[in-house]
Chain A
Amino acid sequence: MLRGVTGTVSGPLLSATGLGMIRGERVLFTGVSLSVAPGESLVLRGSNGAGKTTLLRILAGLTRPEAGEVTRNGLHHWFAHREGLKPHETPRTHLGLWAKAWGSGSDLDSVLARMGLKRPADVPARYLSAGQRRRTALGRLLLEKRPIWMLDEPYTALDAEGRELVLELIEDHLKGGGAIVAAIHGESGFVPANEVVL
C-alpha cells in the first residue's frame, strides 16, 4: 500500500498544465504540460541551463511557477544534487532522523545494507566520499513507500555499481505502481514512458 495516495489511484499521480517560468528577464519555458500515471516514468531533458531542475522544483512545489498549475495525487520523494546531508550526520543518524520525521518504522539496517552503506554507516558525512553521500540520500527513498519519486541527475558521482543500484530501485518502484520524474542529462539507462524536452 502506497502512503499518501488520496482516493483510489485511477488518474495520473502527477500532472501539470501550462507551466511557464521566468528567471530575471529570461523566459525559461512556457506552456509545459505533462502527466505521469502509476507505473510510468518521465524524463526531463534539455541542455545545461534549460530549466530542468527548475521544472522539477516546480513539480515538487518548491518553486512557484510564473504560470500554470501542478497537481500531485500523492506524496513524493525528493533526491537532488544537494543531498540534504549535514556534515555531522552519519548515514545511520541521517536516515534515522528522516524516518522519524516521516513517521516511518523502516528497518534502518536493511536500508543501509541495500544501499551498500554497512561499513560507513557510522562515519560522519564530512568524511564520506561523494558517492557514499549520494547513497545515503538515496536511502531516504526506501524509508517510506511514496508513489512519486522526483530525481534530479540521480547518477551523479556514483560508480558503475551505484548506477546499477539506482536502476534497480527505479525498476522496482515502477513495478510497484510508483511514478518517476527524473531530470537526466545523459543516458537514462531505462526506457522512459515519456520525455519532456526543454
Chain B
Amino acid sequence: MFSWFANPLRFLRLSQWLAPLCYALAVLLIGWGLWRGLWMVPADEYQGGDIMRVMFIHVPAAWLAMASYMAMAVMSFVWFIWRHEVADIAAKSIAPLGAVWTAVCLATGSIWGKPTWGTWWQWDDARMMSVLFMFFLFLGYMALRASMDTRQKAARAGAILAMVGAINVPLIKFSVDLFTSLHQDSSVLTADGPKMAAIYLWPLLASSLGHTLLFAGLTQTLMRAEIWDRRTAQANAKLMSEG
C-alpha cells in the first residue's frame, strides 16, 4: 500500500484534485461549525460564558496537535524502513503545520484559561503541559532538519528524532499527568464528548473535521511545493554538471 503512494508523480496527480477538495470541504465544515458555535448555540455559564466559544477552535487544534505529531512519526517510520521519498516529504511538510496548530491550541487555551482559571498559564493542567512539550518536539524536529547540509541527511536525522520523540510521548504524558494530579484539581476545560450537550457536539465535530481537512489540504500543498522544489534542484544540478 505504501509503495503505491510512494511515487511522487502519482502523488502530484492525486493531490491536484484532492487538495482543493479538502479545502472546499474544510471551508464548509469550519464555516458551519463556527457559525453554529459562535452565534447559534447558547453560552454555557458554567464554562465561563461566551469565552467557552473559543472551544470551537481550541479543541480541533488540540486534536490536530496530537494527531499531526503521530502522523509525522508514522511517516518518519515509513521512510526509515522503506525509504519512500514521499513519506519523508510528508513528515517534513507536517512539522511546520503541526507546530502552528499546536501554537494555536496553546494560545486559545491560554485565552480560555484567563477568565476561568484567572491566569494565562496554568501549570497544573496536564493537557496544556503535554501540548507545550509537543510544541518543543516540533521545534526541535524543524531545527534539526534545518541544520543538516543535505536533504538526505535531514531526512535521516529527522526520522530518528521523530521516532525517539514518539516513543517518549506516552512517558511524557504519564509523568505530566502524575505531576498535575498531585496539585489542586483545576481542570475546567472538560470538553469530554459524551458529557457534552449535543447542541455543542455537532458544531465541535464539524469544526474538528474541517480543521483536519484544512490540515490535510495544506500538507498536500506543502508537499507539492517540496516535490517541485526537489525536482528543480535536481534539474539545476543536472544542468550544472553538464556544464
Binding site for B on A (CB under 8 A): 22-27
Contacts and interface: CB of A to CB of B under 8 A. Distances in A.
Contacts of B3: none
A23 B234 CA distance: 11
Contacts of B151: 24-25
A27 B241 contact: yes
Nearest to B149: A24
A27 B236 CA distance: 12
A178 to B, nearest CB: 34
Nearest to A23: B150
Nearest to A22: B152
B233 interface: yes
Interface in B210-243: 230, 233-234, 236-238, 240-241
A62 to B, nearest CB: 14
A198 to B, nearest CB: 13
A25 B154 CA distance: 13
Nearest to B151: A24
A59 B188 CA distance: 61
B68 to A, nearest CB: 28
A26 B152 contact: no
Given A25-B151, A26-B240, A27-B238, 10 more contacts: A23-B150, A23-B152, A24-B149, A24-B152, A24-B233, A24-B237, A26-B237, A26-B241, A27-B237, A27-B241
B241 to A, nearest CB: 7
Contacts of B234: 25
Contacts of B150: 23-24
A79 B213 CA distance: 55
21 contacts: A22-B152, A23-B150, A23-B152, A24-B149, A24-B150, A24-B151, A24-B152, A24-B233, A24-B237, A25-B151, A25-B230, A25-B233, A25-B234, A25-B236, A25-B237, A26-B237, A26-B240, A26-B241, A27-B237, A27-B238, A27-B241
Contacts of B152: 22-24
Contacts of A24: 149-152, 233, 237
A27 B150 CA distance: 13
Nearest to B230: A25
B176 to A, nearest CB: 38
A51 to B, nearest CB: 12
What are the 8 closest A-B residue pairs judged by CB atoms, nearest first?
A: A25-B237, A24-B150, A25-B233, A25-B234, A26-B237, A23-B150, A24-B151, A27-B241
Contacts of B241: 26-27
Interface in B12-26: none
Contacts of B149: 24
Contacts of A27: 237-238, 241
B146 to A, nearest CB: 15
Contacts of A23: 150, 152
A26 B234 CA distance: 8
B30 to A, nearest CB: 39
Contacts of A26: 237, 240-241
Contacts of B240: 26
A25 B234 CA distance: 5
Contacts of A25: 151, 230, 233-234, 236-237
A67 B237 CA distance: 19
A162 B230 CA distance: 47
B114 to A, nearest CB: 48
